[in-house]
Amino acid sequence: MIIRETVSCEAMPQSDEKYGSEVPQDSDKDKCVKSEPHDLKTPPAEKKTGAGDDKRASDNSAKVDYGYDLYPERQGGKYKPSVWEHFFLHEGENLSDQITCEKNVYNCFKKSHGVKLMLAALKASGCPVDMSRNVSCETCEHIVTGGYDPSTNQIVVCQNVARKENVVQGILVHELIHMFDFCTKKVNFANLEHLACTEIRAANLTHCSYISSIMQGDSSPINIKRTHQECVKNKAACSLVAARGISKREAVRIVDLVFPQCYGDLEPIGRRVRRNSDDIRRAYLERHKYGYV
Amino acid sequence: MATETDIATEVSHFESLPAEAWLVRSCEQFEAELKECRRPKGRFHQYFIHGELADCSQWREDVANCYRWRRKADPEAMAALVESERARRDARLAAHRANTVWESRPAPPDGWNGPLPEHLERKRQDSFLHRMQTEDAAREREGSDGATAPPQPPETPQRAQCVVQ
């Protein structure tokens, strides 16, 4: 199975609709979808109309792809762009995109304090990260920007979506948190509570700045107090919906179940970093106190 | 170079350091943490996350103690700093240990970096990352005097004894 990354969360359509309130069953899944995914070129067995439609939920027991369909290169396939995508979105320039992506990954490994902190924590935990072995730049469907594949122990960076170094940095830190959880804890990614917990931790530590919380619909200029939690809950629930095809209500229930414990667990970064601040550098400088050297 | 005000940097004072003095960060880092705690953007961040403003008094006390140690080698100041850093570390680890959703592993997963499927291994061998990694390793093996050291065998991954579990 593959842990999908950074599926964009659509803002909640009704401004007065609070997180966790009763929502109609047939409308709650699609709130987590940024756009309709493309018709898949591979594998041909599945045709999507929405990332969280009922077909996925009902077929979940029979279908074991666990998300590989959005990452065609994982199982030896190749993403084939349409004519439109080729000429207007410059899709299909795989080699050029791959080299740009790998250069960004290399620069992050060498310069980014967040990535270096995670690498040190993983190495100290007995799980060294090999840049070429554990990171793969691939072409993916546009609704994902990256992922973590525990079966091959690789982080997938979507070279056709993540084209800038700061975006690649965010993906790497997020996926390295999943990797850290897998390395140090008995995480079973088929267990929804475990999946929810690792997604809560990743969203808590790497996403949900005030601006992204506004864009997600969880905060506003007049609603600021403690809305970071709502952003993290919403993001984690959306990740569960996209990864497992369960209903939003079920995802919310599972996230609420594990939230108090997982929200407070900040290892190995140790703080909720403020965007555009020096926090991550200071977190990196104090890593030796926790054995991450 | 030690100045008149930096008594604690003299070697003679190293022997009076407590065992956990390595936990204490530099005075400049304490100042940076205090500044972040008190600045408007930091306050906004605290309100956004916790719904209230943080208490910055411990950072202020730590800055004062740090400079008292640096300039006068005051052992009480160092003891207070060690206690403060230990409390901060314990609070962070307590939150981590309170997460009982999953159990800790006694050792890393088996086959952490085992062989890749053939198509992924082929992609890896042709990648820019693999090439840069090989060049970096070659550069590290060559010493500053230009002599080529023999290649080292790959290290068996070990979990550090003091790492958080």
- Partners of residue B120 in chain A, C-beta under 8 Å: 136, 152, 154
Evaluate whether A97 touches A159 at the Cβ level (below 8 Å): yes
Token pair 């506003």 is found at A220
Angle at B12 between CA B11 and CA B18, to 5 degrees: 95
Mean pLDDT (whole number) for A217-221? 94
| CB < 8 Å to A133, chain B | 113, 116, 124
The alpha-carbon gap from B127 to the nearest alpha carbon of chain A, in Å, equals 7
CA distance B108 to chain A (A): 6
How many C-beta neighbours within 10 Å does residue B155 have? Answer: 8
Give me the residue from A105, A282, A292 closest to B129, CB to CB.
Answer: A105
- Confidence bin at A57 (pLDDT 50/70/90): very low
Q: Which residues of A are catalytic?
A: 175
pLDDT digits (tens, 9 = 90+) for A110-124: 999 999 999 999 999
Q: Are A84 and A76 in contact (CB under 8 A)?
A: no
Q: Give the amino acid at A24.
A: P
- The answer to whether B81 and B20 are in contact (CB under 8 A) is no
Tell me the pLDDT tens digit for each residue of A173-210. Answer: 999 999 999 999 999 999 999 999 999 999 999 989 99
Residue B25 contacts A where some CB pair is shorter than 8 Å: yes
Inter-chain residue contact A131 with B132, CB threshold 8 Å: yes
Question: How would residue B65 be classed by pLDDT, with cut points 50, 70 and 90?
Answer: very high
Asked if A132 contacts B133 with a C-beta cutoff of 8 angstroms, the reply is yes
Give the model confidence (pLDDT) of B17-51 as tens digits: 888 999 999 999 999 999 999 999 999 999 999 99
| Residue A49 φ/ψ region, left for φ over 0, alpha for ψ in the -120 to 50 degree band, beta for the rest | alpha
For the stretch A4-44, pLDDT in tens is 665 555 433 223 333 233 333 333 333 453 332 222 222 33
How far out from the chain centre does Cα A166 lie?
15
User: Of B92, B129, B132, which is closest to A270 when you measure between CB atoms?
Assistant: B92
State whether B41 and A274 contact (CB < 8 Å): yes
Question: Which residue in A118, A133, A290 has the most chain B C-beta atoms within 10 A of its own C-beta, making it the best mutation to test that interface?
Answer: A133
- Residue in chain A lying closest to B105 (CA): A185
Instruction: Identify the pLDDT of residue A86.
Output: 63
